[in-house]
Amino acid sequence: MSPGLRSALPVVLFLIAGFAAPLIAVIWFSFMPARTFSFGGTPTLENYTTIIESSNYISFLWSLGLGAVTVTLLALICYPIAYGLVRIFGKWSTLITLLFTIPLFVSENIRLYGWVLFLIKNGVLLGTIKSVFGVEPESILFTLPAIVLGMVYVYFPFMLFPMTLGISMVPQDTRDAAMDLGASRWQVFREVELPLSMPGILIGCLLTFVLAVGAIAEAKVLGGQQIIPITHDIEIAFTYAQNWPLGAALSVLLMAVVGTLVLIVLRRFNLDQLLGRR
Amino acid sequence: MTAASPILSLQAVQKMFGPHAAVDSIDLDIAEGEFFTIVGPSGSGKTTLLRMLAGMDQPTSGNILLRGQYINNLPANKRPTCMVFQSLALFPHRTVGQNIEFPLKIRGEDPAKRKARALQLMDLLRLPQNYYSKNVMKCSGGERQRVALARALAYDPQILFFDEPLSAIDYKLRKTLEKELKDIHRETKKTFVYITHSLEEAMVMSDRIGVMRAGKLVQVGTPHEIYSSPNTRFVSEFVGDVNVIPVSLGSKNLLKSGLAPKGLKPPRVPEGFENGHLVIRPEYLRFLAKAGDADNALTGRLYNEYALGSRIQYQVRVGDTVFVVEKLRQQPFTGKLDDDVIIGWDAKDAILVTD
């Protein structure tokens, strides 16, 4: 055994036990007969056939769609803030970063219930508007916008921080040089800052997309189960329906779809090439 | 050397950082087509000065005039000047060609024209034509240097600024690039303003040199003037190894020094000189057979010798003071280490400086 392999052994064993084994178990289970609870059955494709014949694709589309909308909104919201943190806010950056980080110490579910209290009829927002202005608008709680709001809120730091890192990696000299060569502020942004901060943007987008597609609490708590994302279907299969093989097959499909999308994006935007290392 | 109408004029230019003057009231005229180098140690304010000239910083007070036009507040992208950065600041996500074409693309020139100009510049800078589509980060240090210069030239600036672009390059390549840069200057006939901490580098390339210290220009002159008549000890020591003897003006027009009880014969004494230093370059010091063979002589001990390529340098200790003497390799000194030796120089070959 080479010294390198020997040194890597603990990590390899840990990854086999903690990462590969559960994954293989889920994949294997997805080929077991429906409603069985053992690894010993005859492998079958019936779970996948069931999914294709059912309406699960709607949940898939909701999850992917919500993920795409969340990522798009986050990209638009976070870029200016990240830019400000790196280039404009100066000494206030640390404080602002801290304010964005502190909510992460509180459980996601508790924060979502906070939003419920804020948005609910006669709650913090509408109750205040009612007592001050005497009007009572419709609550957005338990609607699609509330779900999107919740997801944007929860995954905000996961977009902001990679973007901040990406923008801070743009060398000041390249900005100065572009300007010195006649570029306007907008041209400096388009020709230099945006492409050079692309790795950070891309990592932020991939991270939040993967997280958002796997989201479940937002639709449950803020969406009032108006919309059923795929994660909810998976949960139902494993719990109420007691159909583990079906749940496993749905999970495998979700991983395959998300994995393919991520690979396509990574192939389209080669990170090394963006960084000029290729 | 200064032309009737300079391309760039600095009038009492000052830059304050808090109470500290990074650039302290500099007056300077730079002539059209000149290769002007500003030399100074790190922290002398030369980069701050250059950034103001390029439009990346504004002076706190004073005027910067480009062909008589006041440009203090004109931003860098509106100035007909261009800078080659110390880091080169190449765009890592672009090819060599795209880097060079950048200013032309910004100006909205059509792609065919852009490419023709880029290839022409690559030719001028001896970059192979097939580098056009090469990733710029895959180029070597010297090649990147040329790309940065080509990109600046593509802007077609009236003045090119250089912020120590050669400082990160190894000695041998630097020597080559210094000469190349001077050739490019000749070829393009543009005004070059270069900053460096190496006076040796400045000597090779410049028409005129300005020496900066603590935000002030202490001396401006041709390389020959800076070398042969430095006006301060600071400037004299900047050029390389020198022998410096603290002296004061004594009676009978002789210089008093702890090393020579009888006094030293001075060169031309500046008006009002009282205290200062006598500077003697190593090549003007020579080994003497007897003390009378030169205007001034000192007795010391040969301590060591160093081969410097075409020359040999000898270290001679007179008491606790170290002197360096240089001779051509073809005519080495034949003395042995620890021998007592007499070294001397003629009065006219030394320089008297204050400070």
pLDDT value, residue A44 = 93
- Residue B180: closest CA among B137, B208, B149, B134: B149
- Asked if B185 contacts B205 with a C-beta cutoff of 8 angstroms, the reply is yes
Q: Can you tell me the distance from the alpha carbon of B71 to that of B62, in angstroms, rounded to the nearest whole number?
A: 11
Q: Can you give the C-alpha Rg of chain A in angstroms?
A: 23
pLDDT value, residue B147 = 96
Residue B232's SS3 state is: strand
Average pLDDT along chain B: 92
- Identify the DSSP state of A193: I
Q: Answer yes or no: is A68 within a domain.
A: yes
Q: Can you tell me the distance from the alpha carbon of A263 to that of A249, in angstroms, rounded to the nearest whole number?
A: 21
Q: Answer yes or no: is A17 within a domain.
A: no
Interface with A, mutate which of B47, B84, B85 (most A CBs under 10 A): B85
Q: Answer yes or no: is A269 within a domain.
A: yes
Query: Which of A178, A179, A274 is opposite residue B93, by nearest beta carbon?
Result: A274
Beta-sheet pairing, B69-70 with B81-84: unpaired
Residues B168-210: tens digit of each pLDDT: 888 888 999 999 999 999 999 999 999 999 888 999 999 999 9
pLDDT value, residue B168 = 81
B322 touches chain A (CB under 8 A): no
Query: Which of B55, B56, B77 is opposite residue A184, by nearest beta carbon?
Result: B77
Confidence class for position A204, pLDDT limits 50, 70, 90: very high
Confidence class for position A273, pLDDT limits 50, 70, 90: low
pLDDT value, residue A274 = 57
Percent share of chain B, pLDDT over 90: 73
The chain B residue lying nearest A273, using CA atoms, is B93
Q: How far is A171 from chain B (nearest CA, A)?
A: 8
Q: What is the mean pLDDT of residues B258-272?
A: 85
pLDDT value, residue B97 = 96
Q: Identify the residue whose tokens are 């796997």.
A: A214
Q: Can you tell me the distance from the alpha carbon of B335 to that of B104, in angstroms, rounded to the nearest whole number?
A: 64
The chain A residue lying nearest B148, using CA atoms, is A177
Are B93 and A195 inside 8 Å of each other by CB? Answer: yes
Residues B83-96: tens digit of each pLDDT: 999 999 999 989 99
Residue B204's SS3 state is: helix
- Identify the DSSP state of B269: P
Helices (H) and strands (E) in chain B, counts: 8, 20
Are A276 and B136 inside 8 Å of each other by CB? Answer: yes
Q: Quick check: A278 pLDDT over 60?
A: no
Could you tell me which residue, A50 or B4, shows the higher pLDDT? A50
Q: What is the mean pLDDT of residues A11-31?
A: 95
Q: Answer yes or no: is A24 within a domain.
A: no
Q: Show the domains of chain B with their CATH numbers.
A: 8-233 (3.40.50.300), 241-353 (2.40.50.140)
Percent share of chain A, pLDDT over 70: 97
Q: Answer yes or no: is A8 within a domain.
A: no
Q: Can you tell me the distance from the alpha carbon of A129 to that of A137, in angstroms, rounded to the nearest whole number?
A: 8
- Asked if B121 contacts B173 with a C-beta cutoff of 8 angstroms, the reply is no
- Asked if B320 contacts B247 with a C-beta cutoff of 8 angstroms, the reply is no
Residues in A touching B54 (Cβ below 8 Å): 180
Are B54 and A195 inside 8 Å of each other by CB? Answer: no
Q: How far is A196 from chain B (nearest CA, A)?
A: 7
Q: Quick check: A275 pLDDT over 60?
A: no
Tally the domains of chain A: 1
- Identify the DSSP state of B261: E
CATH (domain of A99): 1.10.3720.10
Answer positive or negative: Cα dihedral of A154, A159, A162, A168. Answer: negative
Q: What is the mean pLDDT of residues B108-119?
A: 95
Residue A183's SS3 state is: coil
Burial B208-224 (b: 16+ CB within 10 A, else e): bbbbbbebebbbbbebe
Query: Which of A171, A180, A195 is opposite residue B87, by nearest beta carbon?
Result: A171
Are B102 and A191 inside 8 Å of each other by CB? Answer: yes
Residue B274's SS3 state is: coil
pLDDT value, residue B260 = 83
Q: Answer yes or no: is A262 within a domain.
A: yes
Q: Answer yes or no: is A27 within a domain.
A: no
pLDDT value, residue B274 = 86
Stretch 205-234 of chain B: residues touching chain A, C-beta under 8 Å: none
Residues B2-57: tens digit of each pLDDT: 445 799 999 999 999 999 999 999 999 999 999 999 999 998 999 999 999 999 99
The chain B residue lying nearest A179, using CA atoms, is B77
Are A180 and B136 inside 8 Å of each other by CB? Answer: no
pLDDT value, residue B200 = 86
Confidence class for position A60, pLDDT limits 50, 70, 90: very high
Are B107 and A182 inside 8 Å of each other by CB? Answer: yes
pLDDT value, residue B1 = 45
Residue B217's SS3 state is: strand
Dihedrals phi, psi of A33, to nearest 5 degrees: -60, 145
Are B92 and A276 inside 8 Å of each other by CB? Answer: yes
Residue A194 buriedness (CB in 10 A; 0-12 / 13-18 / 19+): middle
Q: What is the mean pLDDT of residues A178-206?
A: 94
Residues in A touching B162 (Cβ below 8 Å): none
Q: Answer yes or no: is A21 within a domain.
A: no
Range of the domain at A247: 56-274
Query: Which of B107, B137, B152 is opposite residue A277, by nearest beta carbon?
Result: B137
Angle (deg, nearest 10), helices A144-168 and A56-83: 40
pLDDT value, residue B285 = 93
Q: Quick check: B140 pLDDT over 70?
A: yes
